[in-house]
Amino acid sequence: MTNHANGWHSAHEMQCPKCGYFQKHKYGFSCGGCRYQFVIDPKTTGFGDKRIKNAIDKLSAGDKYFTQEELYCKCFKPSKFSFGCFAFLVVLVAGGFLFFITNAEGGTRILLVVGLVLSIAGIILAYLFHTPGSDGRVIPAANSYVGRYFPPNLLKTDKIKEGSLSQVNYEEFQPDHFLVVDCKETLAQLLTNGFHRDHNCLIMTDQKYPKKAFQYYRKFKLENPDAKLHLFHDASHEADMMAQDIASDGAWQTSLDAIVDLGIHTSNLHKTKRGTWRKGSELAAHCDKQKYIDDRLRDRWKYLIDSLPQGKLLTLLGFALESGHTLLGEEFHLVYVQDRPGADVALVGGDGGFDDFG
């Protein structure tokens, strides 16, 4: 029996994300406490509306704006074969075998010892060669929730209009940097969170959007031919070609020598243990094994910059923009730690890697 007053509930009940009432949850039914209409079927997805609502609350804390891919990454809970799980299995198997070995004799004992060695070797190999699988449930579930309860701070492509991205009066703008990103959502995220003001940079997409920003860049470039372009993008084989594509497009009036690609580059992905990959409606956890990375890239997955929590994203991108060093690159890590002795080393990883990039 459920005791709602004390918070006890059965494993078959779900909590309403609006009023907190526990009840037997059925897809399409309303909450018995507040009539909230459930959107997600936990029998299909393995989670309910509450996970999406919690993710939205965390992403929008402090009235921050967030992208839909940030929401996907926040809702995604990959299964992990952790070291703790590995150790537990080793102890469990070893304990079971040892119990029988101590009570066996002769050939039986030898067989049990051989079985113990093979079992532990199998567990070690499974741990060493384990790679994360993909999950195609999160994105459809999040999209369904957004379609029914659109979060006010969500930056969605069809909601991003040219007029809503006014940064400043371009005629009076004297930027120190020009930053090119690979999608409208990242552009809107940086603008709404004040990145352009904090670093005095003009931000646009590789599709020359917003038009007024691109027109201002063209005028500035004519008067300042040495002006550089900085790039910021997801990691994929296509994104690696972004600099080349811009340089070959005469409208940008620039060369490769005047482009600073801040990444993320696919060649640096082995330096981080965390993050999220996406292909269509599927998500997968990052793994720093080169074969895993190569397989994902070959199958046209992309590693999401939205894997990085927003506060860390703005901090690291700001430093990359000022220093000109590539995100996840070895030089970036060394310069960041040396130039900012009081900085949080966890942002880039204390072991020379980027363990917290995700």
Q: Note down pLDDT in tens along the chain; length 358 residues.
A: 333 333 333 344 567 777 765 655 554 566 666 767 888 888 888 888 889 999 999 999 888 889 999 999 999 987 655 555 556 565 656 666 665 666 666 667 666 666 666 666 666 665 555 566 678 899 999 999 999 988 988 988 777 766 655 555 666 678 899 999 999 899 988 988 889 889 999 999 999 998 888 999 999 999 999 999 999 999 999 999 999 999 999 999 999 999 999 989 999 999 888 899 999 999 999 988 899 999 999 999 999 998 887 778 888 899 999 999 998 888 887 887 776 545 544 444 444 444 444 3
Asked whether 175 and 201 are in contact (CB, 8 A), the reply is: yes
Phi-psi region of 20 (alpha: psi -120 to 50; beta: other; left: phi over 0): left
Asked if 321 contacts 230 with a C-beta cutoff of 8 angstroms, the reply is yes
Q: What are the Cα distances from residue 167, in Å, to 58, 175, 190, 286, 347?
A: 26, 11, 11, 34, 28
Question: How many Å apart are CA 272 and CA 263, to the nearest integer?
Answer: 14
Give the contacts of 33 (CB within 8 A, at least 6 positions apart): 16, 19, 20, 21, 23
Phi/psi class of residue 27: alpha, beta or left (left: φ > 0; alpha: ψ in -120 to 50)? beta
Please list the residues that pair with 67 across neighbouring strands.
Answer: 155
pTM for the predicted model, two decimal places: 0.75
Q: What is the rounded CA–CA span in Å between residue 312 and residue 318?
A: 10
